[in-house]
Structure 1
Amino acid sequence: MSRYSTDTKVVILWFKRDLRLVDHAALWQALELCEQQQAELLLLYVLEAEYWQQADASARQWRFIADCLRDLNYQLQQKCSALNFAQGDMLQALQVLADNYQIVALCSHQETANGWTFQRDLTIKKWCAKQGVPWHEALQQPVKRAGLNRDHYAQLVQNFFQQETLPEPQQLPESRLHQGWQLPSRLDNPFIRPDSYIAGEQTQKGGRVLGLALLESFLQHREQNYLKTLAKPLAGAKFSSRLSPHIAWGSLSIREVMHATWDALPHKTYKRNLRAFNERLFWQSHFIQKLETEPDIEFLEMHPLLRDVRKWDEAARQRYQAWANGQTGFPMVDACMRCLRLRGWLPFRMRAMLVSFASYQLWLPWQKFAPYLGALFTDYEPGIHYSQIQMQSGVTGINQMRVYNPVKQSQDQDPSGEFIRKWCPELAALDESMIHQPWEFADDVLAQFDVKLGEDYPLPIVEHQQAAREAKQRLHSLRQTPEAKALKQEVFSKHGSRKRPNQRISRARKPSEAAQRKALQKAHEQAQRDKQMALF
């Protein structure tokens, strides 16, 4: 049993990827424990130095989080509460608090992030066990940690989303503020890797207020063009929901977004767009579950026989550098990479094309470029990221090989070349018949537009059709062996979807009144849902 220098009892609520007060099960759990234990509430966020040194962390992600923290702290101040902000290390922060208070419980949401956070949580779990501090982890997504049978997963998801969203507490007890741990006015992060800053970047801003505004505008009018612009790099930036970073970092909960979508559906004449959006909310959890089931897929191919197929040598390093800097000689690939580097967002189809091109045409091992891409995404969600990268790289063994033709994608998704001209100004003078594959035209023809390949803009780094054929043949031959087919069934049993294409998640006729929610709300049974959500 640990010793404490004071008898002040505290329940610690540890904020991680859940920077909000609405639909916050861990907060309600902490409030109930404070009441039961006659303890004070201590709200905590820790800026962890080692996390921000990881290759998949970046300055743009921190800026988004900082916006969310400011919003969260403002909301807390309106309730006469406050957020404790510590820097350095979560374990050290807990030890400091244990030296000053009697910690009776630690509450947080269950986090599924990268390998570093997984190991961090194991360390915290050991500390809590040694100190005799119970750690309560509430679900933030329909993700099960151990013993999952994939045959039952669809029901798990259905049950989770049918639960009503938890309201924001009308009142909060005054939160214990540890000396010197108040949130600073300037939320600088001294731990970010210098190479994660990109000059001129203009990425999406964070905070719950902006998240709610995006949700409202999407459900009211932007959704009308959702499906027809979903893959287009220019229009998609306007008509996609753009809620992904808010869900990834928790300024909005995925369940409140799902419920808002359900509430909007009856008022829509044309419902296909919101139903498609609803399906994508489901798939988020489906992919996160893969990483939770097998954390090693951040580092190793799902299918054992497809490991170490792609070699990392000097030639591969040069191909990687050209791809990472938007200098492959394929206009759509380069435009997407340059846009991503400065804006932090692309529609899914263009993300998939970048991964496919790196994996097949350039034959790069995905482990070498996955962290770099993760750092570029403002909406970085490791469960989605690594599951999708493995799928788009063809190494799951259970998915079809999806090899994107960069020229066809260019012609289909940017037929006029407007997106390419914006991000590859070297080619701006070319008309739409030339801009998608300028290497097909003679030097003297290009010279009429002041374009010289190899000088103004790179020559293609590979012959993309031949490179794609060779890559598919290599993987196909490996996947067709008897041993590979046998292992494929094991991978499917662990990660494969059992959800039928026409099966939709929908609101139950009578929302579940789970005993856990009754207990969490207890004295707050009359509380109303967040007033802002009434708009939706």
Structure 2
Amino acid sequence: MQKTTLIWFRRNLRLSDNAVLQTAVARGLPLAAVYAAERPSESANPRRAAFHHQAAAELSAALAVKGIPLFAVQGDPVETLPEWARRLNAQSVLADEAYTPSETLQDNRIWRILDAEGIAFERINDRAVFAKADIMSEYGRPYAEFAPYKQAWLQAFRQHFSGERPSETAKIPFQTAFAGLPPFPDAPQAVLAQRGGEQAAWRQWRQFLPELDVYPLLKDFPAKKATSQLGAYLSAGCISPRELAQEAAARGADVWLENLIRRDFYYQLAFHHAEMPSEPENPADAVFFQRWTKGETGFPLIDAAMRCLRKSGWLPPVLRQVTAQFWCMTLRQNWQHGAAWFAAQQTDHDEALNIGNWQAAAGLLSPHALRVLHPTVAAQQFDPDGTFIRRHVPELAHLPKDFIHTPWLAGADIDSHGYPPPLAEAV
């Protein structure tokens, strides 16, 4: 069998501006690809598994047009990837670069197996605008705080991307190296707020574009639905952060661009500061955890946010911060417990970003810049007329503006339909 280049698609499920695919095409060998499919029944996050599967199915169809097979394989990649590399007579295996300690450890184990068999294992940055070692301080060390990292990122972006056009879809020649193409398995059944795939990702971006000008004004008002909601597409790699960064910069959307900068920051933080403990020191308070996750804390905005996340798998960024700070600062619980629960709920779950956001909420990153609001003050600031609360906490929907944020003050005058009193005295 002729030698091949094997692509391992994991978090770069797209054709446009896919550096791994472009590198593979340049090798000049027939291409084959694998995707490590999760069984939703065995997944800690069935929503994310279903979303990624949808994206991979669309990618499979696009590759099939060019005669390139995408094999959906199940099992531990440490075992299955080398097996498929042998079966497909791969000269090299290419994948997108990993950042978290668990993925890095997995990649190192795979590399040792492939290297022993004379198969190259190459990883290429396809998740971030800048790779993990691209942005360093003047002393050659990684940044541990966001503000200086942002300045260095912007300077590097101006130098490397200001005159470039976004990459286009790789020109993939049609190949006939495989007699037949494998059918891609059906997507698992799941109720998703968004559909996975590159086409849906670009539709979402184009739908958001008219809102870019008002994004700085409305982004912290969750009832307005003024955020891009691209998180799941970026997490699965359905859309390129490099292309988005270039488009946002060209439109002068600096406030929105900061989201991509912070994303890069958390990626390099996960790689260079892997010593941050991921396991909690103490167990979570069972009552606190149950009422927080069910949206029964007695603080309306917190409860509306948690119920929204449970139901839809998505939460506006400002409410992720508010609910995380409530867990860490008000209830004084370990951030790891909250991060683990979020990881199981979010369709757009990305380990590095989730951990980074939770560490920030717990005051472990840039503590001098941490701003913690009383949950009632946060509610009055981010949902002033209670629209978001009424949408997700129906037992309070009838309350007037004066009591929507503090129903306990209404006393017996207003029926709150069993809504609980505050769980703790907020500090």
TM range (shorter): 0.7 to 0.9
User: SS of 2:201's equivalent?
Assistant: helix
1:23 CA drift (Å): 0.8
Distance 1:463 1:40 in 2: 64
The 3-state SS of whatever aligns with 1:297 is coil
Say yes or no: does 1:255 pair with 2:249: no
Distance 1:48 1:120, change over 3 A: farther
Query: CA 1:74–1:399 in structure 2 vs 1: closer, same or farther (change >3 Å)?
Result: farther
Taking structure 1 as the reference length, the TM-score comes to 0.71
Structure 2 counterpart of 1:170: 171
Mapping for residues 404-415 of structure 1, pairs under 5 Å: 404-415=373-384
Pick aligned residue for 1:457 from 391, 394, 419: 419
Contact 2:101 2:271 in 1 (8 A): no
Instruction: Give 1:160 deviation, angstroms.
Output: 5.3
Where does structure 1 lack aligned partners over 5 or more consecutive residues? Answer: 1-6, 190-196, 266-270, 301-306, 469-536
Q: Following the alignment from structure 1 to structure 2, what is the Cα–Cα distance between the partners of residues 52 and 422?
A: 30
SS, match of residue 37 in structure 2: strand
Change (3 A) 1:393 1:246: same
Q: Does 1:187 align with 2:187?
A: yes
TM-fit CA distance, 1:202: 4.5
Whether the 8 Å contact between 2:17 and 2:168 is mirrored in structure 1 is yes
1:411-469 alpha-carbon deviations (Å, 9 max, x no partner)? 122222221112111112211111110111222x12xxx325xxx111111111xxx2x
Alignment partners' CA distance in 1, 2:19 and 2:51: 23
Contact kept in structure 1, 2:31 and 2:68, CA below 8 Å: no
Aligned match of 1:27: 21
Match of 1:212 among 193, 198, 202: 202
From the superposition, tell whether residues 385 and 101 of structure 1 become closer, same or farther in structure 2 (CA, over 3 Å): closer
**Pairing 1:390–2:359 present:** yes
TM-score of the superposition, structure 2-length normalised?
0.88
Question: Does structure 2 conserve the Cα–Cα contact (< 8 Å) formed by 1:326 and 1:335?
Answer: yes
Q: Letter of the 1:28 partner, please give it.
A: Q
Question: Is the 2:133–2:142 Cα contact (8 Å) retained in structure 1?
Answer: no
Tell me how many residue pairs correspond in the alignment.
412
Q: Report the alpha carbon displacement of residue 8 of structure 1 after superposing the two structures with TM.
A: 2.8
CA deviations over 1:81-114 (Å, ceiling 9, x no partner): 33221111223323433443432101111122x4
Q: How does 1:448-487 map to 2 (within 5 A)?
A: 450-451=415-416, 456-464=418-426, 468=427
Tell me, yes or no, if the aligned pair for 1:356 and 1:402 is still in contact at 8 Å: no
1:282 lines up with 2:268 in the alignment: no
Q: 2:330 aligns with which of 339, 357, 361?
A: 361
Rounded Cα–Cα distance in structure 2 between residues aligned with 1:104 and 1:175: 18
Matched, 1:230 2:215: no
1:402 aligns with 2:381: no
- Is it true that 1:242 corresponds to 2:213 in the alignment? no
- Partners of 2:267 and 2:26 lie apart in 1 by 29
For residues 228 and 298 of structure 2, what CA distance do their matches in structure 1 show?
31
- Counterpart residue number, 2:97: 110
Amino acid at match of 1:213: R
State the Cα distance separating 1:380 from its structure 2 match.
1.6
Q: Distance in 1 between matches of 2:172 and 2:161?
A: 26
Partner of 1:63: 50
2:137 aligned partner: none
SS of the equivalent of 1:442 reads helix
1:42-80 per-position Cα deviation (integer Å, ceiling 9, x unaligned)? 11111256x9857xx411112221221122122223333
Question: Aligned in 2, Cα 1:299/1:338: closer, same or farther, shift over 3 Å?
Answer: same
Deviation larger for 329-338 or 154-163: 154-163
CA contact (8 A) 1:42 1:175 kept: no
Q: Show the counterpart of 1:11.
A: 5
Q: Which has the larger radius of gyration?
A: 1
Change in Cα spacing, 1:276 to 1:400, as seen in structure 2 (3 Å) is closer
* Equivalent-residue separation in structure 2 for 1:15 and 1:427 (angstroms): 46
> Cα 1:103–1:399, aligned 2, differ >3 Å: closer, same or farther?
farther
The aligned amino acid for 2:223 is: L
> Closer, same or farther in 2 for the Cα pair 1:393/1:294, shift >3 Å?
same
Q: CA deviation at 1:227?
A: 1.7
Please give the per-residue CA displacement for 1:10-30, whole angstroms capped at 9, x wherever unaligned: 210110100011111111211
Residues 125 and 160 of structure 1: CA distance in aligned 2, closer, same or farther (over 3 Å): farther
Aligned partners of 2:165 and 2:213: how far apart in 1?
A: 27
